[in-house]
Structure 1
């Protein structure tokens, strides 16, 4: 969405499709190929989607992929010049070099006739990673799933680099999913290069371009390896928070300008990520690019992270933007995976009371639906505390805010940080325009317009940002003993039944 210039804090586009400023560059007849027979007995079916330069069809009736339906990417060969022909063949060459990896879409064959190129690939009809993040909401609060999926993506990109292929257009729309989002596969090599350094600036999608690729700071050429690593960092933010850190990594972007000035301060004030996740992001988003964490370093770091989001107790004392984003994420978790919040129930009551009633209701429905207890109302009526905003207690050890080292001057003007953008599908700045997606386009989606957008941060020292806190409040409110007893009863009933919940 466009920035709201009337807001005191500017807002960047949310996680929805941005219009492609370049439009489409293929003849209309390419949309009317249903029923056409291609070589190898392949017949084109319904249109799956369109891109800047091509159309993707369902294909059937061939011996490819054990006679399963396939995806057929059709690119016009009629009336194109030698340079465009070279680009198409380069895309197919790059894809074929890495096609055998289990987390890269398999390219079976490429046919060409007088009218078009036909690239035959595996069909993954579950949609792309963008859909799994924004519509299906598979990943919010599901740290184990995020780590598995992000690890698969790291493996795929590392395999590409080891084989001399640098993608340059990594984004959720170019990552296909299957098994309800548990398996991801990289696709669309339309902007890939074999060069480790490139002078093709602003190549890719602007949300995911590295500063060097955008042209900041001024360099003669940018590293395509480190450009991909930067994009991986943005995708990790997408997975954890359903937000983008900024619209474009250039000084003209308010979010990125604040990040560049104060990396640790900006990300802490805008993204409700845990301290360990913060440290990892700061190591990925380093400038200059030579100091950026390697893919193997990212893999090792994320493997050792216990949790990626702030707990409710930590989020309650986060800056306004991060707190609001956390509240939105907790609301999604309460609806999708309520068991994740059971151990934090008393903190939800205390600091996010608007969510407490919905969380109780969701737990009640799920436990009743799955027959976990006979009289579910007993759990939620007897000794169940009323939601309260404050009570007097010391935070348990797991919820003590993480000390982060920040210079005092960084704390003076936190309210002035721009909010980072919600996630959005971004095709608006694809300078070279990839030749067409494997997945269908989806209609624009806007993730909670009133939820602040999230931004990212740089990479220096992190000790001492959030001081250790005690929560002070009226002494006559419900005791922590009653709250603990209530959440303990739920936990005892559920035991290890988390897998029963969606």
Structure 2
């Protein structure tokens, strides 16, 4: 048993997730009573293991014997978080899991990134203490379907996601694995991005470099890869566009944006309006998707432009509760976002347009009737219509979802087993 082990002032309660190189535990600080997620990451990636055996399985066995040798009570030294920022590339090469930490620590003070509270070292693994947030976006979309009747909640979550990723990009952090499982939601449905295991500081990736999960991978990462290097940020923008479809339609448009292996995407390459056949979307929403699903990453929508379009969109679907959606006013925008966003985002917009004299912060929409929105955090007195009871998200989920790609058309989480639309009309 890996539970009921004490590491310093933390007691491991249960395992809540696992990935390619780590295991995540729910833990309690027995001094304060606060709950945290503790991720145990292998210090060395074994190359001798059978490829059919997941490294997390090996780590689980190793941890069992390691904990047992200390009678399930460990006292480990903490790592100074600031010192991680000073590691050289040579040092990171010998400790690759610290690259993830470095990327995460660069942006973790943002209110919509999961916070790292402590890093503890042992001879076997590194233990990372993070916020514990019980709900992920996948569960909220598919299992709970909390967005099915709430256009404002869709805008809230989507704009928060855009804003925090825009912030990451401005600090030179490109996530490269954006998907609903890596986006956590607190009890007020505020976004918290996690899992920077594939994040990179490289602004351009070599052609055909496959990074991320197939559903959310941009076409330049596959057979449509160009001879030139592609901007990494544009790959995150593509993934965000697919997540927008998830939020509105509760499905994915295709398994992979590669015409050689996916028939639906092959149709999209010749006729983008195929989206109108397989998704219940309006022309207005379709035009937004065209901006973000541009095949050429250089022509893909920027996040500020995408945020404005979604904030002002009044019709997501052709029928049902999302056929009429409130367009956000500047007052709503500022109320939802809060002061910390307004200060930070205005500076980011100033930096964003600083190289073009024709643009001012007015282009970010702060003083216009039509708002180019980014994140908005719901105040304490507002609960979305789709929330029940005390407004909490009761769906348990992993704080570090599985990183391995799935080629199945079904997921392990959806109640009805489908995560793709009906293609009968193609």
Q: 1:110 aligns with which of 119, 126, 134?
A: 119
- The match for 2:308 is 300
Match of 1:48 in 2: 16
1:290-369 to structure 2, matched below 5 A, reads 290-311=298-319
Alignment match, 1:206 = 214
Q: CA deviation at 1:272?
A: 0.9
2:171 is aligned with 1:195: no
Q: SS where residue 253 of structure 2 aligns?
A: coil
Gap runs ≥5 in structure 2: 48-90, 324-400
Which of 45, 53, 59 is the equivalent residue of 2:27?
Answer: 59
Structure 1 residue 221 displacement after superposition: 2.6
Give the gaps of 5 or more residues in structure 1: 1-31, 316-424, 431-441, 456-502
State whether residues 151 and 322 of structure 2, in contact with CA within 8 Å, keep that contact through their aligned partners in structure 1: no
Q: Distance in 1 between matches of 2:177 and 2:253?
A: 17
SS at 1:47 equivalent: strand
Match of 2:295 in 1: 287
In angstroms, what is the RMSD of aligned CA positions? Answer: 2.9
Evaluate the alpha carbon distance shift between residue 256 and residue 179 of structure 1 in structure 2; reply closer, same or farther with a 3 A threshold. Answer: same
Quick one: distance in 1 between partners of 2:250 and 2:312?
Answer: 22
Deviation at 1:91, TM superposition (A): 0.1
- The answer as to whether partners of 2:20 and 2:402 remain within 8 angstroms in 1 is no
Native 8 Å contact 1:207 1:426 kept in 2: no
* Correspondence for 1:35: 4
Contact conserved, 2:252 with 2:420, CA < 8 A, in 1? no
Distance 1:139 1:79, change over 3 A: closer
User: TM-score, normalization: structure 1?
Assistant: 0.55
Q: Report the 3-state secondary structure (helix = DSSP H, G, I; strand = E; otherwise coil) of the residue aligned with 2:316.
A: coil
Superposed displacement of residue 84, structure 1: 7.0
1:129 and 2:137 aligned: yes
Summarize the Cα distance change of 1:83–1:123 in structure 2 as closer, same or farther, 3 Å threshold: same
SS of match in other structure, 1:207: helix
CA contact (8 A) 2:44 2:95 kept: no
Match of 2:148 among 119, 140, 153: 140
Conserved? CA contact 1:207–1:248, under 8 Å: yes
> Given the alignment of the two structures, is residue 217 of structure 1 paired with residue 201 of structure 2, yes or no?
no
Partner of 1:92: 101
Change in Cα spacing, 1:248 to 1:427, as seen in structure 2 (3 Å) is farther
Residue 226 of structure 1 corresponds to which residue in structure 2?
A: 234
Determine the structure 1 residue equivalent to 2:269.
Answer: 260
Paired residues of 2:43 and 2:95 also in contact (CA < 8 A)? no
> Which structure's relative contact order is higher, taking Cα pairs within 8 Å and 6+ residues apart?
1
> Match of 2:63?
none
Question: C-alpha separation between the residues in 1 aligned to 2:305 and 2:133?
Answer: 30
Contact 2:139 2:413 in 1 (8 A): no
Q: Distance in 1 between matches of 2:322 and 2:46?
A: 58
Mark the CA change 1:454 to 1:62 in structure 2 (over 3 Å): closer, same or farther: farther
Instruction: Show CA shifts across 1:463-484 (max 9, x none).
Output: xxxxxxxxxxxxxxxxxxxxxx
CA distance in 2, matches of 1:109, 1:450: 36
Could you tell me how far 1:77 is from its partner in structure 2?
A: 1.9
Instruction: State the partner residue of 2:192.
Output: 185
> Does residue 1:167 correspond to 2:175, yes or no?
yes
Which residue of structure 1 lines up, in the alignment, with residue 53 of structure 2? none
The residue aligned with 1:71 is 37
Distance 1:426 1:188 in 2: 10
Distance 1:62 1:224, change over 3 A: farther
8 Å Cα contact 1:178/1:184 also seen in 2: yes
Instruction: Measure, in 2, the Cα distance between the counterparts of 1:454 and 1:62.
Output: 52
**Cα distance per residue 1:9-52 (max 9 Å; x no partner):** xxxxxxxxxxxxxxxxxxxxxxx43233324x222221111112
C-alpha separation in 1, matches of 2:296 and 2:3:
49
Q: Is the 8 A contact 1:202 1:215 kept in 2?
A: no
Which residue is 1:343 aligned to? none
SS of residue in 2 equivalent to 1:120: strand
Cα distance, 1:61 vs structure 2: 2.1
Q: Secondary structure at the match of 2:216?
A: coil
